[in-house]
Chains A and B, each alone.
Chain A
Amino acid sequence: MRIVVLLKAVPIVGTERLLDAFRVDRGSGLEANGNDEYVLEAALQLTEQHGGEVTLLTMGPAGALEALRKGLAMGAARAVHVQDDAVAGSDARGTVRVLAAALGRLEYDLVFAGADSSDGLGGVVPAWLAARLGLPYLSYAARIEPGPGGATVRVHRISPTGFDLLEAPMPALVMGTQLLGEPRYPSLRGIMQARTKEIATWSLADCGLQPSEVGPAAASSEIVGATPPPPRGGATIVRDQPDAAVAQIVDFLASRRLV
């Protein structure tokens, strides 16, 4: 099974900020998006059990390299890094254009994506990409396995009461969640091996795209204002015995009309 994992390098959670032009600052401190590590883990387990290889694909700045190296150390075979000054500031549509074009140059049975990214929180890139590429789309996966016969993929899609067992022919795009399982830590051996693995760097032109199709120029919305919410903290601290403490909580909730 050849699996391409879409791995986004995001600002370290808790340190995100906007640049003056209201774009997300990707200049420093990037890490692999949490959800993408879950789908990577699932991809590695599938290829370990059923044969095949995992390719990482990312669109992002130079700083995304570290997240790719970690993915390679975890066990991916190779990585493709679409890096081009023109793609900075792309919205979801620009991102989909780039990822679709890059996938057009790769061979795969399955494409894996995370449920959402911690900086964008859109969660629409995977569905968009699948429809654009004409791939069956299986989302919110808690479990991914080969279907009977081997030409299909089966996914447990989380439902309000349990899961729906989905099946579709390959190639297909699967979007996955944390329920796929804890990602492994790279082993020392994995880290050593990763040094010799290939990271291909592709430009926009390599993907067959024009700069006008991506980046801020092609963005379809603009941020017109940004305000931090009122600061929190300065909490009232209660250290009384349980009964007295509870009386204080009730008074506090009543004062805010919450009980």
Chain B
Amino acid sequence: MGSAIWAVAELADGAPTRLSLELATLARTLAEAMGAEATTVLVAPGAAAAAPALAQHGPGVLVVDTAASEELASAAVVSARVATLAAERGPAWILCGASPDGKDVAGQLAALLDWPVLVNGAAVRWQDGAPLVEMSIFGGRLVTESRPTASPAVIVVRPGAIAAEEAPAPGAVEAVEVVPGRELPAVRIVERVAEAAAAASIEEARIIVAGGRGVGGPEGFAVIEDLADALGGAVGATRAVVDAGWISYSQQIGQTGKIVKPALYVACGISGAIQHKVGMQTSGTIVAINRDPDAPIVEFADLVVIGDLFEIAPRLAAAVRARKA
């Protein structure tokens, strides 16, 4: 195997996702440390149009346009092509994003190439001739560092492992045709159903204002949304309120929702159950607004305001806006 490092990118609405730009940046910085080459691989319908934005972040971009497979679930299409390219060109490491599609691709690539996978990378750096992967495990109670015992390997990287940064000089874009050595069974998309506008992604947000059962009902979330807007953050939630149908599952934080690590987490009317805590306890600063001084969240917050969120949150939004003005 060679020594190159690849990043597998993905698109949303025709543009590279922020996580993809982070992966491209990470591949470039690791390649510099390795003294090797970095490449971003983009397999998607309309890939060529999106490639320049990726190339801005440094590595050369391999582009495979799959317009003909638009009606198929993408992970199987992407992994069959990336696997074929990898078998031909022999990179030592492939970075995949810890997004739904990225994890699907990572697992399928592992099967097609028979490579191992390191999951859940919160940070990756080059040390002693190998990537050292930092992971937060057990709901944030432990941070481990792992190293693959051999190359090649797939490494799955979480959002926020590195800040996306443009390179001094953009990489070259190379369009390639790929005939997969082995296709994976096709899964047809019968219909794409839009139910709501996509909310701001909580995994990428620097500030999250989250609401729990204390918000009282779906209307109560207006207060949470307004505070999030004032702070420039995204809206998060507990499972209790997702189950109640007050907000969408995409905003749920915790064991069976998303794991987040914003600079600021404001918890409003959230008790701080263990299943919620494991999704947010590594946040930079945690502020809790709760009526109950004995709520579990008091034990792991940095600032706790005992009071009614309906009295506090609107005033806080106004004060933050006044300060910014």
* A contact set with B: CB distance below 8 Å: 13-14, 16-18, 22, 34-35, 38, 91-93, 96, 115, 118-132, 134-140, 142, 154, 156-169, 172, 177-179, 182, 219-229, 232-233, 235-239, 242-243, 245-250, 252-254, 256, 258-259
Contacts and interface: CB of A to CB of B under 8 A. Distances in A.
B111 A132 contact: yes
Contact of A242 (B194, B196, B302, B307): B307
A158 B100 contact: yes
Contacts of A118: 139, 255, 278
A137 B108 contact: yes
Given A165-B190, A166-B189, A223-B145, A122 B119 contact: yes
Q: Which 4 A-B pairs have the closest CB atoms?
A: A127-B107, A220-B116, A131-B111, A162-B195
A195 to B, nearest CB: 30
Contact of B243 (A14, A137, A182, A250): A182
A122 B156 contact: yes
Given A22-B144, A258-B264, A236 B303 contact: yes
Contact of A166 (B73, B108, B249, B293): B73
Most chain B CB neighbours (cut-off 10 Å) among A96, A119, A137: A137
B68 interface: no
Nearest to B198: A160
Given A127-B75, A139-B75, A232-B300, A249 B142 contact: no
Contacts of B73: 137-139, 157, 164, 166
A14 B274 contact: yes
B193 A16 contact: no
A178 B257 contact: yes
Interface of B: 12, 73, 75-76, 79, 98, 100, 103-108, 110-112, 116-120, 132-133, 136-150, 153, 156, 184-198, 207, 231, 239, 242-243, 249-250, 252, 255-257, 259, 263-264, 274-275, 277-278, 281-282, 284-288, 293, 298-308, 311-312, 315-316, 319-320, 323-324
Given A168-B188, A229-B143, A238 B100 contact: no
A163 B193 contact: yes
Contacts of A167: 187-188, 190
18 contacts: A14-B139, A14-B274, A16-B137, A120-B119, A121-B120, A124-B156, A126-B107, A142-B249, A166-B73, A168-B186, A177-B249, A178-B256, A221-B149, A222-B146, A229-B282, A237-B298, A237-B304, A238-B303
Contacts of A168: 185-188
Contacts of A256: 264, 284-285
Given A120-B119, A179-B249, A232-B302, A259 B324 contact: yes
B141 A228 contact: yes
Contacts of B242: 178
Given A166-B188, A225-B145, A124 B282 contact: no
Contact of A138 (B143, B187, B288): B187
B316 A246 contact: yes
Given A124-B107, A223-B145, A237-B306, A242 B315 contact: yes
A5 B141 CA distance: 29
Contacts of B149: 219-222
B85 to A, nearest CB: 16
Contacts of B185: 134-137, 168-169, 172
A252 B303 CA distance: 8
Given A120-B119, A249-B312, 14 more contacts: A93-B110, A96-B111, A119-B138, A123-B103, A136-B187, A139-B73, A158-B100, A158-B249, A160-B198, A178-B252, A227-B142, A235-B299, A246-B312, A246-B319
Given A119-B138, A137-B104, A164-B189, A236 B304 contact: yes
B198 A161 contact: yes
A160 B195 CA distance: 10
Nearest to B257: A178
A224 B259 CA distance: 24
Contacts of A219: 149
Contacts of B112: 131
A224 B193 contact: no
Given A128-B110, A258-B285, A238 B190 contact: no
Contacts of B323: 250, 254, 259
Contact of B110 (A35, A124, A162): A124
Most chain A CB neighbours (cut-off 10 Å) among B98, B105, B110, B195: B110
Contact of B116 (A18, A91, A227): A91
